[in-house]
Amino acid sequence: MKKNTQHEIEIQSVTAKGFGVGYIDGFTVFVEGGLPGDKLNVRILKAKTRYGFAKIVKILTPSPHRIESPCPVSDRCGGCQWQHAEYSAQLGYKKQLVVDALERIGHVKNPPVLDVLGMSSSPIHYRNKAVFPVVPHNNEDGFAIGMFAPRSHRIVEVDYCNIQHPAHVEVLKIVKKHMRDNKVTPYDETTHRGLMRFISIRTSLATGEVMVVLTINGNKFPHERALAEDLAKAGVTTVVISRHTAKSNVVLGDRFRVISGTGFISEDIGHVTYQISAPSFFQVNPVQAKALYEIAVAQANIKNKTVIDAHVGAGGVSLYAAKHAKEIIGVDIVPEAIEDGQKNAEINGVTNLRFICGAAEEVIPPILQETDAPQLIFLDPPRKGCDPALLKAIISAKIEEIVYISCDPATFARDVKILIEGGYELVTVQPVDMFPHTGKVETTALLCRTK
């Protein structure tokens, strides 16, 4: 297989990154934007020994699930991958991603994966949070704000986004004008110069509050009060400056300074009100988060048990489950998240949830060795999955039940393999579509100690 050669191919499956997968004489080809059932003419862009990447030259026969994308930049923007696929088909793709990961990585035969729970309402404008990078550009402004193109640091500027809350794009217009008027420079990661790095926006569906976080390579932002006033006219309720002077591409810095409003917004998920500050993790789709939490609580036999939540964040599933449990111990490594969690417990009148700040793999093992150790553990780790030391401690303590909430099928399957080898059975897996039109899928799974 050689670069720039053209071939006909039929797409068999998809990957989480939006590639269609097909085969040419046994050679695996990943095709950007391909959907199962597509018959395509493609051009090879890159060829390795066993696989290659290709671009669609012509759609010979479209997939029965292919539709016209409502987004004018969906072929260039990396924000989502499947605007051109029917929503019902997306749910099928995601279920298969979870099944494939458990079979291939977790070595689970016939994994008990249920159909993906999709959004009952129209799956648009569902994201309550967006992060927009600001980078140097050879345009009139000298900078660009938008979304990264797939697998690059090239910015695709957006005037409208089908998955973001409508308030987000309006905020970008105001910040862009302020940068232009005050000659604010974009951050250049190659030279470590320039001021503006990221613009983060979070909107509450329950209250309509909007929080804007400006991540800057320094301490002060030019005429920040004036910018806060302009944003307030557009409905922004709080503006925060995040100082980030390290040479890394993480979004938020190590210090936060509130320049207007309270520094947080409130969001409702079911019967629980959550107060969210800039550094706190919170689900981006409150509608589906409610479904996720309800399923997670229902999966476990939680009544009157002592529970530990290894990645509690600002309260998350623990606040939702507290009314059923005897006691919940929430652990998180982010101090600001712990502070938010404590406030949220107070707001909701929850008295049986206590918080500990620290790394789960360091804080939890001693707790599991106590005589009255928890019988149930919630795991809701970041994309990288659980630390091996935490899994080892769970296995050693012979915790009765584990409810594992995951945002990455691959690391979830890896951890499930370790837990099964340690004496657990994978009872059920319920995928939830937290991120429509993307290849991402959230799952909540129950694992029980085998008798």
CATH number, domain of 106, equals 3.40.50.150
Same domain, 291 and 437: yes
- Return the pLDDT at 371: 72
Q: Give pLDDT tens digits for 330-345.
A: 999 989 889 999 999 9
Same domain, 240 and 114: no
Does 311 map to a domain? yes
Same domain, 310 and 330: yes
- Return the pLDDT at 345: 96
What is the CATH number for 233?
A: 2.40.50.1070
Same domain, 352 and 300: yes
C-alpha atoms less than 13 angstroms from C-alpha of 209 in its C-beta half-sphere = 20
* pLDDT above 70: percentage of residues in the chain: 100
Q: Angle at the Cα of 311 (from 148 to 350), degrees rounded to 5?
A: 120
- Return the pLDDT at 398: 93
Kindly tell me if the per-residue pLDDT of 370 is higher than 90: no
Does 413 map to a domain? yes
Does 25 map to a domain? yes
Same domain, 206 and 302: no
Q: Give pLDDT tens digits for 168-225.
A: 889 999 999 999 999 999 999 899 999 999 999 999 999 999 999 999 999 999 999 9
- Return the pLDDT at 72: 86
**Of the residues 209, 240, 268, which one is the last residue of a structural domain?**
268
Does 427 map to a domain? yes
Does 337 map to a domain? yes
* pLDDT above 90: percentage of residues in the chain: 80
Same domain, 318 and 222: no
- Return the pLDDT at 156: 87
Kindly tell me if the per-residue pLDDT of 153 is higher than 80: no
Mind telling me the catalytic residues? 407
Same domain, 289 and 377: yes
Does 346 map to a domain? yes
What is the CATH number for 11?
A: 2.40.50.140
Same domain, 328 and 290: yes
Does 388 map to a domain? yes
Same domain, 257 and 193: yes
Same domain, 222 and 301: no
Same domain, 237 and 367: no
Which has the minimum average pLDDT: 53-57, 68-72, 278-282, 392-396?
278-282
- Structural domain count, the chain: 3
Selected residue with higher pLDDT from 301 and 153 = 301
Does 259 map to a domain? yes
- pTM beyond cutoff 0.85: yes
**Of the residues 240, 268, 296, which one is the last residue of a structural domain?**
268
- Tell me what the pLDDT averaged over the chain comes to: 93
Query: What domain range includes position 346?
Result: 91-120+285-449
Same domain, 110 and 169: no
**Of the residues 66, 83, 99, which one is the last residue of a structural domain?**
66
Beta strand pairing call for 238-243 and 210-216: parallel
Residue 147's pLDDT band (cuts 50, 70, 90): confident
